[in-house]
Amino acid sequence: MMKNARLLFIFLSVTTGYAQLKPVTYSDGAQKLNSLVIAPGTAAASKPGVLILPAWKGITAHEKESATALSKLGYFALIADIYGAGNYPQGSKAAGALSGTYKKNYGDYQRRIQLALNQLIAAGAASDNIVAIGYCFGGTGALEAARGGLALQGVVSIHGGLGKDSARPNVALNPKVLILHGADDPYVPQADIIAVQQELRDGNADWQMIYYSDAVHAFTEKTAGTDKSKGAAYNESAAKRSWQHLQLFLKEVLK
């Protein structure tokens, strides 16, 4: 049964236009995890890597597109499987409930990110030359990676959730931080923005936060549609600008 599932996983990876993405199977205890990794199109002695943390529905075409584009820019890229085999949500309600569990149990989230990071290093990325980026729920994960002290040079939250339990203390944040945020995102309250900026100051972080006008949640996600009244919508201008800002950050932070 597991063999058939693995063959299906490989088949889907190849037939959806992302043939260079390779499956990586590992585990967290008894839980099987299925990430995707891709080598850089052009080899670099410094072996820079980008760990991609998916949005709340898990690995989709959006993350695969990003990984493929990053490989063409010369980066090792790995898309992390946070939920694990048998736990992939069907629909927004299930995705919201499952992602909420990891936000609450942030230690589990940090552990799954670390396990994926280990796989990126095993695939060839240099352990001291990696940035983690995340979309939506994954953007929360990127910040959690910094809070958890993971060995990263930088983290990038792209239309991500910014809040954390106010009872948690602010800690030193070693990675450089970039937050790419829709100026009209209704899912991120102003209180969370104020709190995360204070957290970054308290953590003595090297940080930037860039706002995109007329952009709501999920502004890089083409499948979100363009009706911003729904709170989540694709914004072509914000998507292109954020991609450029991401590239500038990677060039600055990675060797």
114-123 residue pLDDT tens: 999 999 999 9
CA 231/CA 210 separation, integer angstroms:
19
Give the chain's domains with CATH numbers.
2-253 (3.40.50.1820)
Backbone dihedral angles phi then psi of residue 110, each to the nearest 5 degrees: -60, -40
Helices 92-104 and 137-147: crossing angle in degrees, nearest 10, is 10
CA 96/CA 100 separation, integer angstroms:
6
Q: What pTM was computed for the model? A: 0.93
Residue 97 DSSP SS3? helix
> What percent of the chain is predicted at pLDDT more than 90?
92
Q: What is the mean pLDDT of the chain?
A: 94
pLDDT, tens digit (0-9, with 9 covering 90-100), for 193-240:
999 999 999 999 999 999 999 999 999 999 999 999 999 999 999 999
| Model confidence band, residue 43 (pLDDT cutoffs 50, 70, 90) | confident
| Model confidence band, residue 17 (pLDDT cutoffs 50, 70, 90) | low
